[in-house]
Structure 1
Amino acid sequence: MQPDFHPVISATGLFTPTESISNAELVGSFNAYVERHNAANAAAIAAGEVEALQPSSVEFIEKASGIKARYVMSKEPVLDPATMEPRIAERDDDEMSIMAEIGIKAARQALDRAGRDAADVDAVLCAASNMQRPYPAMAIEIQQGLGIDGFAFDMNVACSSATFGIQTAADYVRAGNARSVLVVSPEITSGHLNWRDRDSHFIFGDVATAVLVEDSSIAPTPHWDILGTKLKTVFSNNIRNNFGFLNRADPGSRDTPDKLFVQEGRKVFKEVVPMVSALILEEAERLRIDPAKLRRLWLHQANAGMNRLIAQRVLGHEADEDESPTVLDTYGNTSSAGSIIAFHLNSDDLEAGDEGLICSFGAGYSVGTVFVKRHA
């Protein structure tokens, strides 16, 4: 008879860049760019041939998103009105890549918190929205850097990559194919953001997270039992990025904005909120969990308004900061890492028996739910 394996979350890790950009700094840079653009195109604007750009404001950003600051790997070039994008030097092939470097830092913290040695890990999944290169896989480089003897691969489900990675890792554990799996999400999202677009220039930040998923028989105490996971995807063009190896357009050019992050924000809000809420409630019912009694929701950190509505539909009342903590204000949208940051920073205070939900949602559309229970 095959042994009965139970996946748990043993620990998490977080790498945060040292540099942060406040809304005031970002608005100052953006508005300087707007002034330059409008001055350089004054005649064409007057003739109706070119549309004048509109300035941004701190109030506009905070009302639209709830974001107040974001961490980045390359601050000065982003704030330079003549550049307005990160400048991260390419490394030689025999040097460790930057995504692997920050992913390893988060992974090592997760291993340390679990009291686990890298030699104990069987697999590494690099689950992130934007990979630095197609191959060799970022996950294999992280595996090499950590000294793990096993297997590794990359996966991309945009903002839901981490939760999809957690279910994949949990499935490996359930099947007995691995006892310990690292899900690493290095998100350098500043590289795919159009810092010249008023409607989106404030959204993203950089970070790396790691989640150690293991069989309960080897997990440390305390840990988090994975009660159930549920994934869902529905195709939509409302969040898109067309940059890839089949095109050579400069992603920083205003003539090719589709090669960077683009979205129809209002449509996303209208369509994603009910889809996410319904999936959470359906899965809670299947698991015989009373959603109103969930101790905490660690939701995807994309938009404060979306989280507020989703939490209200799940819990049945307006959630406070304790029930649905926010890291969006200081980290910005960090794609797949957002819900993991919220969990990492706001879970140690829960008691044995408390149940909660890690949930992400984003481009695809994609939704991932991970119901967990604190185990003493």
Structure 2
Amino acid sequence: MHRVAITGTGIYTPDEVISNAELVASYNEYAHRQNALHAEAIAAGEREPLPMSSEEFIVKASGIERRHVVNKYGILDPGIMHPVLPERAEEELSIMAEIAVRAADEAMRRAGLTAGDIDCVICAASNHERAYPAIAIEVQQALGIAGFAFDMNVACSSATFGIQLAADMIRCGSARAVLMVNPEITSGHQEWRDRDCHFIFGDVCTAVVLQRLDEVQAGNAYEVLSTRCVTEFSNNIRNNNGFLRRTREGHMVDRRDMQFHQEGRKVFKQVVPIVVDLIQGHLAAEGLAADDLTRLWLHQANKNMNDLIGQRVLGREPTREEQPNVLQEYANTSSAGSIIAFSTYSDDLPAGSLGIICSFGAGYSAGSVIVRKR
């Protein structure tokens, strides 16, 4: 069995940024228009008025201050309230593949590898812009990589599940080096017209290169010591859009359940113990204690949730250095969030440092990866 290391990471960040102030102004204008349009029904008690949003509400609920997006004007236009992207011909590189290539180039450069060194490409993301052909195969072709490629989706846990799969392939010898990409255009499944979630998501793409430890060239590498994944079915985070939509009467109209929707309080209450149990059980199985960890790179969905997870795992309040957050800048970028945190806050640790990458979300699903700095 071969030992495995993460040797390169990459991040593609869209140029366009939406602040909380801009988002609140756009949503509140939309809410005012809808409430005026339905004023009679609201007065008669037949319809609830849309509530207003505020910057204070967003920061208190999530810790998010801004987000990057691939298209800003469509989201902020109260008459549109979703990104507007030009259609691309089938012969053109798709937008998901395009941003994946950008992140992959950086990850391979940092790993000291070329396309010829990669055996497999995994596109692990919470949404894919089409059913087939696989985005991963398109990325493979664009980069000139031989071997094989495939897509996978475990919602916000896609990256850690992808790391486990890549590590298993390398350990057993079916690949020497694997490129995993996480193109997350979450603005497309976000419901920007819903006060309770209109601030949650942002767009980004991350990439990770994993390879055999005995072939590592990069100076900043982390050995993957162990991985663990868990799933438990729940409807509390759901998106009903899919290829069977047109087969059901009334499903082609603008329906709320065809975008991201969740029972936020239930998710918080139920997911936190799942994640804490996963991390604690994973550490115990490897003969490790929480005090052995130098850093936790958690899924970047909600600061309050991360704070509570850190407290329960460490038995105390984690410091910013021990548990860095990037969601204030990026918002929830689904599977990419923990990888942004790892990529941004991993170079500074000394050799021998132990850390854990952990992501969690819809499914429910959660994955953890214990790593050690070389």
Instruction: After superposing the two structures, state which structure 1 stretch, 8-17 or 240-249, moved more.
Output: 240-249
Provide the residue aligned with 2:298 in structure 1.
299
Provide the residue aligned with 1:111 in structure 2.
108
How far apart, CA to CA, are the structure 1 residues paired with 2:140 and 2:106? 15
How far apart, CA to CA, are the structure 1 residues paired with 2:171 and 2:236? 35
Q: In structure 1, the residue corresponding to 2:369 is in which secondary structure?
A: strand
Whether 2:337 is the aligned partner of 1:331: answer no
Provide the residue aligned with 2:343 in structure 1.
344
Q: Are 2:119 and 2:176, in contact at CA under 8 Å, matched by a contact in 1? A: yes
Provide the residue aligned with 1:168 in structure 2.
165
- For structure 2, the residue ranges without an aligned partner over 5 or more in a row are none
Amino acid at match of 2:43: A
How far apart, CA to CA, are the structure 2 residues paired with 1:125 and 1:170? 12
How far apart, CA to CA, are the structure 2 residues paired with 1:245 and 1:334? 24
How far apart, CA to CA, are the structure 2 residues paired with 1:89 and 1:315? 47
Summarize the alignment of residues 221-370 of structure 1 with structure 2, pairs less than 5 Å apart: 221-248=219-246, 253=254, 256-370=255-369
Provide the residue aligned with 1:92 in structure 2.
89
Provide the residue aligned with 1:148 in structure 2.
145
Instruction: After superposing the two structures, state which structure 1 stretch, 80-89 or 44-53, moved more.
Output: 44-53
How far apart, CA to CA, are the structure 2 residues paired with 1:368 and 1:29? 36
Q: In structure 1, the residue corresponding to 2:24 is in which secondary structure?
A: helix
Amino acid at match of 1:230: R
Summarize the alignment of residues 134-213 of structure 1 with structure 2, pairs less than 5 Å apart: 134-213=131-210
Q: In structure 2, the residue corresponding to 1:217 is in which secondary structure?
A: helix
Shift of 1:293: 2.4
Structure 1 residues 218-242: Cα deviation after superposition (integer angstroms, max 9, x where no partner): 1123310101000000000000000
Q: Are 1:243 and 1:251, in contact at CA under 8 Å, matched by a contact in 2? A: no
Q: How many residues align?
A: 370
Q: In structure 2, the residue corresponding to 1:225 is in which secondary structure?
A: strand
Structure 1 residues 177-220: Cα deviation after superposition (integer angstroms, max 9, x where no partner): 00000010000000001000000000000000001010011112
Describe the shift of the 1:73–1:252 C-alpha distance in structure 2 as closer, same or farther (beyond 3 A). Answer: farther
Shift of 1:281: 0.5
Shift of 1:14: 0.4
Shift of 1:251: 7.8
Shift of 1:341: 0.2
Describe the shift of the 1:252–1:227 C-alpha distance in structure 2 as closer, same or farther (beyond 3 A). Answer: farther
How far apart, CA to CA, are the structure 2 residues paired with 1:18 and 1:252? 32
How far apart, CA to CA, are the structure 2 residues paired with 1:129 and 1:143? 19
Q: Are 2:203 and 2:333, in contact at CA under 8 Å, matched by a contact in 1? A: yes
Structure 1 residues 308-334: Cα deviation after superposition (integer angstroms, max 9, x where no partner): 011111111101110100100010000
Runs (4+) off by over 3 Å: 248-252
Shift of 1:114: 1.2
- For structure 1, the residue ranges without an aligned partner over 5 or more in a row are none
Structure 1 residues 268-321: Cα deviation after superposition (integer angstroms, max 9, x where no partner): 000110110011011101111121221000000001111001111111110111
Q: Are 2:297 and 2:323, in contact at CA under 8 Å, matched by a contact in 1? A: yes
Q: Are 2:125 and 2:184, in contact at CA under 8 Å, matched by a contact in 1? A: yes
How far apart, CA to CA, are the structure 2 residues paired with 1:250 and 1:119? 45
Q: In structure 2, the residue corresponding to 1:266 is in which secondary structure?
A: helix
Describe the shift of the 1:148–1:252 C-alpha distance in structure 2 as closer, same or farther (beyond 3 A). Answer: farther
Q: Are 2:245 and 2:251, in contact at CA under 8 Å, matched by a contact in 1? A: no
Summarize the alignment of residues 40-51 of structure 1 with structure 2, pairs less than 5 Å apart: 40-51=37-48
Q: Are 1:157 and 1:164, in contact at CA under 8 Å, matched by a contact in 2? A: yes
> Identity across aligned pairs (percent)?
59
How far apart, CA to CA, are the structure 1 residues paired with 2:359 and 2:221? 21
User: If the length of structure 2 is used for normalisation, what is the TM-score?
Assistant: 0.97
How far apart, CA to CA, are the structure 2 residues paired with 1:271 and 1:50? 31
Structure 1 residues 82-112: Cα deviation after superposition (integer angstroms, max 9, x where no partner): 0000011110000000000000100010001
Q: Are 2:103 and 2:205, in contact at CA under 8 Å, matched by a contact in 1? A: yes
Q: Are 1:251 and 1:260, in contact at CA under 8 Å, matched by a contact in 2? A: no
Amino acid at match of 2:241: F
Provide the residue aligned with 1:371 in structure 2.
370
Shift of 1:49: 1.8
Q: In structure 2, the residue corresponding to 1:140 is in which secondary structure?
A: helix
